Amino acid sequence: MSSHYDRVLIGALLALPALWPALSPVGLEWQWFWPNYLYYAAPHGVVMALSCWSVARGKPTLVMLLLLNLWLALVYGWVRWAVPSHESGLAWLLYIPGYLLSLVLYGIYLVGRQRKACPRGRAE
């Protein structure tokens, strides 16, 4: 059984792909690095925080983090190769609805697992 710190470390490692778009292809602009990184990695942090207080840890969290990484890579590829450079900032707003939908679905899954683990009629 892995410890809590192992799960947090795995979550941090899975958030590393957020570094890729945070490093601007034009050149590294350090004043924008941390805001960009936090924008890209925010959903990963939410998943890790939810998984710390949830019954459903492990595989569901790993799958969710991988799906978030896939969504980030897809949006990055689309912005990088299909969107004109002068509109790329606006195109990154598409990232938000995708990860919000993912987080809502993950939250619904966690609530369902929580209810399954602790039925209402059960005496404590």
User: Tens of pLDDT along 73-104?
Assistant: 899 889 888 988 888 888 889 899 999 999 99
Separation CA 22–CA 42 (nearest Å): 12
Residue 122 counted as domain residue: no
pLDDT in tens, 20-38: 665 555 655 667 777 888 8
State the residue range of the domain holding 43. Answer: 4-117
Closest of 52, 66, 50 to residue 109, by C-alpha: 50
Contact status, residue 45 vs residue 19, Cβ threshold 8 Å: no
CB 50 within 8 A of CB 13: no
33 assigned to some structural domain: yes
| pTM value surpassing 0.85 | no
What percentage of the chain exceeds 70 in pLDDT? 69
What end-to-end distance do the CA atoms of the chain give, in Å? 26
Q: How many domains does the chain have?
A: 1
Whether 109 is in a domain gets the answer yes
Within a domain: residue 54? yes
DSSP for 15-41, written as a single string: TGGGHHHHS-TT---HHHHHHHHHHHH
How far from 118 is each of 48, 54, 55, CA to CA, in Å?
22, 12, 10
Decide if 124 is inside a domain: no
Judge whether 69 and 61 are in contact, CB under 8 Å.
no
